[in-house]
Amino acid sequence: MSDKSHDPNQMTGAAMIVRALIDHGVTDIFGYPGGAVLPIYDEIFQQSEVQHILVRHEQGAGHAAEGYARSTGKPGVALVTSGPGATNMVTPLTDALMDSIPLVCISGQVPTHLIGNDAFQECDTVGITRPCTKHNWLVRDVNDLAKVLHEAFYVATTGRPGPVLVDVPKDVQFATGTYHPPRKSDVHRSYAPRVKGDATQIRKAVSLLANAKRPVIYSGGGVINSGPEATKLLRELVEVTGFPITSTLMGLGAYPASGKAWLGMLGMHGTYEANMTMHDCDVMLCVGARFDDRITGRVDAFSPNSKKIHIDIDPSSINKNIRVDVPIIGDCGNILGDILQVFKAEAKKPDIKAWWQQIAQWRARNSLYYKKSNDVILPQHAIQSLFEATRGKDTYITTEVGQHQMWAAQFFGFEEPHRWMTSGGLGTMGYGLPAAVGVQVAHPDSLVIDIAGDASVQMTMQEMSTAVQYELPIKIFILNNQYMGMVRQWQQLLHGNRLSHSYSEALPDFVKLAEAYGGVGLQVHKPSDLDGAIQEMISVKRPVLFDCRVAALENCFPMIPSGKAHNEMLLPEQANDEATAKAFAGGKALV
Amino acid sequence: MNQPASAYFIEERHDPNETHTLAVLVQNEPGVLARVIGLFSGRGYNIESLTVSETEAQKHLSRITIVTTGTPMVIAQIKHQLDRMIPVYQVVDMTQTKRSIERELAMVKVRGQGEHRVEALRLADAFRARVIDATTESFVFEITGNTDKINQFIDLMRPLGLVEVSRTGVAAIGRGPEGM
């Protein structure tokens, strides 16, 4: 050993982990210490290149890393201990898998000789996280550690991005071995995601696009994951073709909400014009989206008369839910570039004036209509006010899951990608607050707002303490209706108005709670006070809990009801809040 | 279509099921089989038979042969889902190639005396099954063939005193000079 002691690449496993983070350009990680990761924490203590953010619960670390990743395009990193530390990561890992977020989780494990013995804080971490990661590794030999860490970063960030986990037993952290910087041979030879699209398929796609009478572009989170070039090319394609564009929840911001071709979000709570355009189109170009069941409505009635082009980097997304005519496998930025090149060389802008006239008629239905009130704040109005107040500011929005999330998607206009962090696929209540922590760490001088619900926000409220500790001035904008609004909405619509356990009998005083954490609490009841309070929230340079008391029984429309198609939407005028309130004879009082 | 009150759209699929044999070349590393099996159970796919063994020790390659059933869309999904796993090199649908040979080995224990014993031996001969163990009141036959042939042999042994069966599951390889 002595002759190797001067070799700078000889180091402990724990040191290798920190070194690998540095080599991959990681500047911030989110974690929580524990017995099985103490050697790594000891290394973190003795350096200053990687900043560690101490969360209050490992789930918070995972979501914070997701928010960090989604707002920067870089991988998010979480560090947790064995056993409960690892099991608490299951939700964020699954969330990141569903939404294709690059996440690298390093977990401690009991020493190798104890694995399988039901040791203290032992669990089968790789077994538990196998179905909720893109790939995971248990490292039993310190000399494999560098290779595995480098591969982990590569797998997380290439192809369809996703979460990975490296489980490192404590004896491996202590053991000394040889580190090497990242190199190509670190990666499985069997892993080679396809980037370039097939030229024949691209020609077929262009020919469909060029001859379309009623086209639509339907874009998703894949465009944002692909990077800024894909966003630029998507915008250019809309410009060159003159086609209307809609997007999924995950795809908001790739095309600007103020753009003239923008139809709004599609799907279950999408706009009438977006869904009708999808239903009646003759050519659909799906870019980086996956025909999720919240998007398609009834599958056998989904856009029945269209030719469908599907660009996706994951071959398993093709024909999973909806049969498509022209699948193109590869990176959507790369393929959009090729499509544009061929289109510009060989086609000209199709004349789709009649189609746009039809779309204008659908738009005129004003499907996001709601009735404002002078007495009570409508949640839609609250989001619109927030949007107006933040216009032109450097703003990032995260959300929890439920009605407030849908209203945020409907009423907050996103002009740029990476500005909208929401749990789409998994629908994780409690995502938004810790995600905001992660976003604020990545963008310390920006305005970071979690649009929250009163129920969701309580699931990870403890991360307020993290925000206060690191002076992260996140704004938690709670649309407080005292209900699990979306649960209640479904109970009203589908379960005979039996509101089983969807009302919060005992909410905390959010103002006092904010103060207890060392943050700032604001509360507003009256519509006339709303704008002033929002201004105050924005100007405070500390974490804020904003308790926005909103109309309790407002529901989220328009909506594709269960078992219905895109052209069978329930519009607000058919399901207004008076009608909903009537269903509440003798029920809970309106706020 | 009658939809129950649900946040999900219940879809009825009417495509007929097909049986496919897939050959999957994987990196032989800890957990790789668990990944493959977990994929099938996690996504609700069927496994009719699964055979796995290291085939190229120096390259750490294992070959998994899976017989599965599903609609054409599901079969396509299974192939894509397998293919995107990190340690999977290649997935070949042996049924689709229409040029594959499939074999299974079974050991069949039959207990009986008198005419049953003679009949069992006669049938074993007709099926080219070998006797690999015998006592005065039992035989263990070794039989190789495709799944249908083995099923047929086992059915015939049942009334003759079938005790137990051990089967390897299907292994498959393509015809002709080309490799996978």
A383 and chain B in contact, CB less than 8 A:
no
Q: Which of residues 163-222 of A touch B (CB under 8 A)?
A: 188-191
- In contact, B107 and B59? CB cutoff 8 Å: no
Nearest to A562 among B5, B73, B76 (CB): B5
For residue A316, give the nearest of B1, B42, B81 by CB distance.
B81
Residues whose CB falls within 8 Å of the CB of residue A334, separated by 6 or more in sequence, listed in order:
A195, A196, A197, A226
Which chain B residues touch A490 with a CB distance below 8 Å?
A: 7
- Look at residue A544 in the predicted model and tell me its pLDDT: 98
Of A135, A188, A319, the CB nearest to B73: A319
Q: Which residue of B has its CA nearest to A487?
A: B7
Q: Nearest chain A residue to B81 by CA: give it.
A: A316
The DSSP letter of residue A516 is H
What is the value of pTM for the model shown? 0.95
CA dist., res. A367 & res. A365, Å (int): 6
The ipTM assigned to this model is 0.91
From residue A416, how far is each of A254, A395, B104 by CA, in Å?
6, 10, 58
Q: Do A189 and B1 touch (CB under 8 A)?
A: no
- B residues 78..97 contacting A (CB < 8 A): 80-81, 83-89
Residue A318 in contact with partner chain B when CB distance is under 8 A: yes
- Tell me if A131 and B77 make a contact (CB, 8 A cut-off): no
**What length is written for chain A?**
591
Flag residues of chain B having pLDDT under 70: 1-7, 9-13
**DSSP notation for A73-122:** SSPEEEEE-STHHHHTTHHHHHHHHHHT--EEEEEEE--GGGTTS--TT-
Looking at residue A3, its pLDDT comes to 58
Size of interface A-B (CB pairs under 8 A): 67
Find chain B residues with C-beta within 8 A of A188's C-beta: 27, 86-87
Q: Do A190 and B34 touch (CB under 8 A)?
A: no
Q: Does A305 touch chain B (CB under 8 A)?
A: no
Query: What's the pLDDT at B9?
Result: 67
**Predicted confidence (pLDDT) per residue in B112-132, tens digit:** 999 999 999 999 999 999 999
- How far is it, in rounded angstroms, from Cα A191 to Cα A429? 33
A76 and A65 Cβ atoms separated by less than 8 Å: yes
Which residues of A are less than 8 Å from B3 in CB distance? 562-563
Q: Return the SS3 of B174.
A: strand
Q: What is the model's pLDDT at position A576? A: 57
Q: What is the pLDDT of residue A572?
A: 85
Q: Mean pLDDT of residues grouped by 10 in chain A (591 residues)?
A: 72 98 98 98 98 98 98 98 98 98 98 97 98 98 98 98 98 98 93 96 98 98 97 98 98 98 97 98 98 91 97 96 96 98 95 98 96 96 98 97 98 98 98 98 98 98 98 98 95 90 94 98 98 98 98 93 86 66 38 27
Chain A residues in contact with B8 by the CB 8 A cut-off are 293, 562
Helix H or strand E segment including A343:
helix A332-346
Inter-chain residue contact A130 with B31, CB threshold 8 Å:
yes
**pLDDT the model gives residue A591:** 27
**Residues 451..490 of A with a Cβ closer than 8 Å to B: which?**
490
Residue type, position B87, single letter? P
